[in-house]
A and B are shown apart, each in its own frame.
Chain A
Amino acid sequence: MALLEIVNLTVDFATATGSLRAVDGINLTINEGEIVAIVGESGSGKSVGMLALMGLLPWTSTVTADRISFDGQDLLNMTEKQRRKIIGKDISMIFQEPMTSLNPCFTVGYQITEVLCQHFGGKRKSYNKKAIELLNQVGIPAAESRLNSFPHQLSGGMCQRVMIAMMIACKPKLLIADEPTTALDVTIQAQILELLIELQQSHGMALVLITHDMAVVAETAERVIVLYAGQQVEQRKVKELFDNPKHPYSEALLNALPERAQDKLLNAIPGVVPGQMDRPKGCLFSPRCNYAQELCSEEKAPLKDGILCHFPLDLSKSRKPKAINVETG
């Protein structure tokens, strides 16, 4: 049975200029011990979708879904109090900016033991040993003396390690990492990704990795979900997606990487993700799509085999030049 099952999740925000749909009908199933990546540009609803699951969105938001179940429990029809027992314990989340997601007023040790007290009760002091153990586990040298450090005394990579230590303190079944390495250097990024995978394997937890970097996906995940403007446009195995992307947006994201460039110019995706005001009538990606036809800007794209597109690509048949591909679809 799936660990987490989300069916048709939609998030709307009430803004001064009307309602804004940030997430539009996402379906997500995550099995135990699996690494799934969620990819998309900023504004594609990656983080909002996961924050909705965690119940961390502000009151201006409306979250609707046909079904959200975690480990057999229905998260949707649960009271706040019941939900809080699961969130932070069985599902936990790491955020993008390690420097700002730790509280600057409290020591590292305080913040780690706080999580444990909250979920297991007992005195804070009694968890000191456990906290040292956790810091050792995430590779912080001289863990004992670090307990009394404040976040500003640590580097970005160290802060992210502390965040991870806090989040794995209760041995969660599902860890959501929201761009955990975007703010970090490449060498530290490699270390943190390696640590996350190591923990995922040793604890047998499922890992959801939110990122906009396709290269990170290639290095870590097994399955990938591509989001665009709140919609789920493709859901595939990583290897299949990289060999043979079916949705034009997935292909465009891959081609935008410097290592796939043919000459001095990169294959940029023109334009930006549509906002509240300039949402296209038909397929949301049509204004930026290389393969768009008349139909694309008229009608919403249908969902076929997990791909949201009028004319999915098929590179396995033949790799045709773009101009011809437009006609054949």
Chain B
Amino acid sequence: MSKQLIKARGLHKHYSISVGLLQPSKNLKALSGVGFDLYEGQTLAVVGESGCGKSTLARLLTTIEEPTSGQLSIDGIDMGNVQSKAITKQLRQTVQMVFQDPFGSLNPRQKVGDILQEPLLINTSLSATERKQKALEMMSLVGLRDEHFHRYPHMFSGGQRQRIAIARALILKPKVVVLDEPVSALDVSIQAQVINLLVDLQKELGLAYVFISHDLSIVRHIADEVLVMYLGKPVEQGPGDVIFNDPKHPYTQALLSATPSTNIKNKRQRIKLTGELPSPIDPPNGCAFNPRCQHANKSCTISEPVMDTFGKSQVACFALDEGRI
């Protein structure tokens, strides 16, 4: 069995939101009860609409923020018990991140070389020539040429910029890379180039990916494990092929049927999902999905469902528990 890199159990993250003068602040539950394991060379895909807590999860994993409660251990070190700053610093090197928007995540005033060397400058004590050497190595690894070293981000196309962002994330030799919608801002053809690069890098370096996306056609292609979230809560979790071939939760089914397909001949019956994600400040009673769910009944509005094992996947749904679907 390959090495376990991330172990998360019951992660919660709550923010306190002030709603106005003289009014008590409200609690926003951005993330509640997320748990998963991530092993070397594996890809975990986190799927859901915007506002479902995907990016909050990314912030917790990269230790930008601390969880309100729950256990998170990275590379065998429990984050809750870390005392020394040196270990935190080391953990931050272990988990790196690539952001969604390659136009916004690179400093327009820095040259590519400087962008790539900055993490080394802060985290290592390498000499200038060694740093440059490393940056050039990394550039060739992600398919950039040496002459790009002295260019500014605006001189590159979207796909190339995302390559720079990937190079920057990899330069500290992380074990886990959090990819926050890495290709959603790119064209389909360029998207394929970047995905291929990610797959190659994973094979070569044995990286583990946390792949955050709402595009299920890409997730189906790249993911080993899938975690479907709705309003901060996991609703379905399991191996990728199981989830895509036999989705159990009504939300997963709706997401899958909403993804456009090029198969013109047999058009699927679309499950219509009306409305939008409710506000996490004021979530609906009971199961968070019940206002949009076609299988909802009274029990769904009273209490919250918990994750139960169905075959190879775990699903939180009363309708499934009671055998209504």
By a beta-carbon cutoff of 8 Å, the part of chain A in contact with chain B is 41-42, 141, 155-158, 185-191, 193-194, 212-216, 218-219, 238-239, 242, 252-254, 256-261, 264-270, 272
Contact = CB atoms under 8 A, between A and B. Distances in A.
B185 to A, nearest CB: 9
Interface in B254-268: 254-255, 257-264, 267
A47 B126 CA distance: 48
Nearest to A252: B189
A133 B163 CA distance: 47
B251 to A, nearest CB: 9
B260 A266 contact: no
Contacts of A141: 275
Contact of A41 (B187, B261, B262): B187
A284 to B, nearest CB: 15
A interface majority secondary structure: helix
Given A42-B187, A188-B49, A190-B258, A218 B193 contact: no
Nearest to B260: A215
Contacts of A155: 276
Nearest to A44: B187
A215 B220 CA distance: 15
Given A185-B50, A188-B49, A268-B193, A219 B218 contact: no
A191 B292 CA distance: 13
B116 to A, nearest CB: 21
Contacts of A158: 276
A189 B191 CA distance: 19
Given A189-B258, A266-B196, A257 B215 contact: no
A9 B159 CA distance: 29
B221 interface: yes
B276 A264 contact: no
B262 A253 contact: no
Contacts of B218: 258
Contacts of B196: 265-266, 268
19 contacts: A42-B158, A141-B275, A155-B276, A156-B50, A157-B276, A185-B50, A186-B49, A186-B216, A187-B49, A212-B188, A214-B262, A215-B259, A215-B262, A253-B188, A253-B189, A254-B262, A256-B188, A265-B196, A269-B189
A215 B195 CA distance: 18
Contact of A187 (B188, B191, B273): B273
Contact of B261 (A193, A218, A256, A264): A218
Given A190-B270, A252-B189, 10 more contacts: A185-B214, A186-B255, A190-B257, A190-B260, A212-B188, A215-B262, A253-B188, A256-B188, A257-B188, A259-B220
Given A256-B189, A257-B188, A266 B258 contact: no
A268 to B, nearest CB: 4
A213 B258 contact: no
A181 to B, nearest CB: 9
A257 B255 CA distance: 18
Interface of B: 49-50, 157-160, 187-193, 195-196, 199-200, 214-218, 220-221, 254-255, 257-264, 267, 270, 272-276
Contacts of A259: 217, 220-221, 261-263
A215 B264 CA distance: 9
A269 B196 CA distance: 11
B53 to A, nearest CB: 14
Nearest to B219: A258
Contacts of B257: 190
5 smallest beta-carbon distances between A and B, as pairs: A268-B192, A215-B260, A266-B192, A190-B258, A258-B221
Contacts of B220: 258-259
Which residue, of A41, A219, A252, A266, has the highest number of chain B Cβ atoms within 10 A? A266
B258 A186 contact: yes
Contact of B260 (A191, A213, A239, A267): A213
A252 B264 CA distance: 18
A102 B49 CA distance: 23
Contacts of B157: 272
* Residue picked from A189, A191, A213, A257, most chain B C-beta under 10 Å: A257
A260 B259 contact: no
Contacts of B191: 256
Nearest to B160: A272
A258 B262 CA distance: 11
A261 B221 contact: yes
Given A187-B273, A257-B217, A270 B193 contact: yes
A216 B260 contact: yes
Nearest to A216: B260
Contacts of A238: 264
Contacts of B259: 186, 215
A41 B258 contact: no
Contacts of B261: 215, 218-219, 259
A218 B49 contact: no
Nearest to B259: A186
Contacts of B187: 41-42, 212
Contacts of B221: 258-259, 261, 264, 266
Given A259-B261, A260-B262, A186 B215 contact: yes
Given A42-B158, A259-B217, A272-B157, A218 B188 contact: no
A220 to B, nearest CB: 8
A103 B50 CA distance: 23
